[in-house]
Amino acid sequence: MKILSKEQIYEGDRLTAERQNVSSTDLMERAGTAIFNWMHMRMQGAQVPIHVFCGIGNNGGDGLVLARHLITHGYNVITYIVNCGNGRSKDFLVNYDRIKNVTKDWPKLLTCKEDFPEIHVDDIIVDAVFGIGLNRAVDPWIQELFVHFKSTGAFTLSIDIPSGLYTDKPIEPESSAVMANYTLSFQAPKLIFFLPETAEHSTQWEVLDIGIDRDYLMSTETEVELISKHEVLPFYKRRDKFSHKGDFGHGLIIGGSKGKMGAVVLATKGMLSAGAGLATAYIPECGYTVLQTAVPEAMALTDDGDDYIEDLEFEFEPTAIGIGVGLGTDPKTITAFEHFLKLNKAPLVIDADALNILSLSKKLLKLLPEGSILTPHPKELERLIGQWDNDFEKLDKTSEFSSKHKVSVVIKGANTITVHGNKKYVNTSGNPGMATGGAGDVLTGVITGLICQGYPPIEATLFGVYLHGRSADLALEDYGYQSLLASHIADGLGEAFIDLFKQPEQEQQQEPEPEKEAQQRRKAKRARR
């Protein structure tokens, strides 16, 4: 799904009005009505007091449309105008007149703290104060209003975006914005729903379709895209009946040091579970027995170093290499890594200590093959690109780094974001159960395994990040957040592949046979447990 910028949203609105021959007032009517329908379906006429707070721009106009429909359907509505300035938008004024035609209780004007209404914890607050048009710091008394919303504990529904947040920059320090329980956003989600600093303002959100011109939405290139099943499914490569292991590449995981051999085990399992034809792990001598025992499907090559890698030489050409997990940063390992980079021709997935070595010795970045995938968690990213003041600066700096070094950067976290030059892909799968040691090692293996099978590196990355998170989501059913382990993510990857082809309930008969069979086997397995 595309995440449109503020400018693209305004352009979409303008073009829709033009192409569908409707006015901006009609579009506002659609927007307010869509919110009303959403609420009406859930509330079914319940007489809970609904406090609708409207600003004086078009977001406020949406609030007035909603309030009008709620009133005419017999709901218990109190409407307020948050008087945040003098200029009212044209469509706000149209709807201000319209609401006066359906009720004698005209909207109450709020101009200062003393005007704030009492709100009971069981009431509902609708926040239509500011939308995407916020253009300067919010006045202190309006900030206090937002704090008041929160202090009441009432369910807060934000229209389009929680008021006080910008779409494309951080809120001012010490400023406050609405903490919405639910946000109903028009046409496309906003990037801020996914960024660590702002996501808590809109933990739950939904997109409402207000009929923006389809051609415009299809043809518009956006900087940000949301990646879910719909986006990754087209990447999936089917297996030919006569295929053999040689068709799916020979992947190599390089890493491990004394006490950190599990990282290589996890990455190697991840690589095999993602479908690599053959897997080899290159490890220091002390890891030999561990590797051969823990992953019998993989081959092991040992370095001359006993406890950590010292030489990093091998005599075959891997299809793809995942490097860095559990590697350590001993000076001999660093020298071996540099030597390896000078000779290497294979596509690389670079993680953990390999990233730390690159941060220590930035000149090595020049040796990375074009299209390499770097998978830092935030701390590793900071070592690579330096500190940032806010999430937007973090993304800008990562984009700059990605373009400069011609690599893709996977910023791991709750909403993993893959940065590929100016493009940013926000992953939607995954859960806090993944905040457990080794989860990232599995991801390194999964992406490497997909590249082995011929997926172009950026597709392998988006697909891999999605499958990895999805596997963890499916594993929650058995393990819950606390007991989910990284190995469960590797073991559950098959379920994530199968899940790609699950249809909504009524269409299950159209499922491809192998996937359906596997599902039945799963069900039987569960029943046996």
Ligand X SMILES: NC(=O)C1=CN([C@@H]2O[C@H](COP(=O)(O)OP(=O)(O)OC[C@H]3O[C@@H](n4cnc5c(N)ncnc54)[C@H](OP(=O)(O)O)[C@@H]3O)[C@@H](O)[C@H]2O)[C@@H](O)CC1
Ligand Y SMILES: Nc1ncnc2c1ncn2[C@@H]1O[C@H](COP(=O)(O)OP(=O)(O)O)[C@@H](O)[C@H]1O
The verdict on whether residue 209 carries a ligand-binding annotation is: no
**Tokens of residue 424, six digits:** 């940013």
Query: By CB under 6 A, is residue 136 in contact with ligand X?
Result: yes
- Interacting partner of 337 out of ligand Y, K ion, ligand X, none (Cβ under 5 to 8 A depending on kind): none
Query: By CB under 6 A, is residue 430 in contact with ligand Y?
Result: yes
Look up tokens 């028009």; give the residue. Answer: 186
Strands 205-208 and 182-186: parallel
Question: Distance of CA 345 to CAs 103, 126, 303, 319, Å?
Answer: 73, 57, 20, 9
CA–CA gap between residue 249 and residue 265 (Å, rounded): 19
- Classify burial at 181, counting beta carbons within 10 Å of its beta carbon; exposed 0-12, middle 13-18, buried 19 or more: middle
Among 153, 196, 259, 437, contact with ligand Y (rule: CB under 6 A): 437
Task: Read off φ and ψ for residue 5, nearest 5 degrees.
Answer: -75, 170
The verdict on whether residue 59 carries a ligand-binding annotation is: yes
Task: Give the count of beta carbons closer than 10 Å to the beta carbon of residue 440.
Answer: 25
Among 435, 456, 483, 521, contact with ligand Y (rule: CB under 6 A): 435
CB of 138 to K ion, least distance (A): 12
- Using only C-alpha atoms, the chain has a radius of gyration, in whole angstroms, of 27
Looking at 152-160, 373-381, 387-395, 405-413, which segment touches K ion (CB under 5 A)?
Answer: 152-160
Of residues 314, 321, 315, 302, the one with CA closest to residue 257: 302
The smaller minimum CB distance to K ion, of residues 144 and 396, is found at 144
By beta-carbon distance, which residue lies closest to ligand Y?
440
- Interacting partner of 158 out of K ion, ligand X, ligand Y, none (Cβ under 5 to 8 A depending on kind): K ion
Query: By CB under 6 A, is residue 322 in contact with ligand Y?
Result: no
Q: Report yes or no: 171 and 177 within 8 Å, Cβ to Cβ.
A: yes
Window 477 to 496, contacts with ligand Y (CB under 6 A): none
Contacts with ligand Y, 373-402, as mask; x by CB under 6 A: ----x-------------------------
Query: By CB under 6 A, is residue 56 in contact with ligand X?
Result: yes
Query: By CB under 6 A, is residue 522 in contact with ligand Y?
Result: no
- Interacting partner of 309 out of ligand X, ligand Y, K ion, none (Cβ under 5 to 8 A depending on kind): none
Window 167 to 206, contacts with ligand X (CB under 6 A): 186
Question: Distance of CA 477 to CAs 440, 483, 495, 517, 523, Å?
Answer: 21, 11, 12, 20, 13
Angle at 66 between CA 64 and CA 71, to 5 degrees: 95
Contacts with ligand Y, 29-68, as mask; x by CB under 6 A: ----------------------------------------
Which residues fall within 8 angstroms of residue 82, CB to CB, at 6 or more apart?
Answer: 53, 54, 55, 56, 60, 110, 129, 142, 145
Among 133, 413, 454, 494, contact with ligand Y (rule: CB under 6 A): 413
- Classify burial at 1, counting beta carbons within 10 Å of its beta carbon; exposed 0-12, middle 13-18, buried 19 or more: middle
Binding site, annotated residues for AMP? 412-416, 440
Binding site, annotated residues? 58-62, 127, 131-137, 160, 163, 263, 326, 377, 412-416, 440-441
Q: Which residues bind K ion (CB under 5 A)?
A: 127, 158-159, 163
Q: Which residues bind ligand Y (CB under 6 A)?
A: 352, 377, 412-414, 416, 430-432, 434-435, 437-441, 443
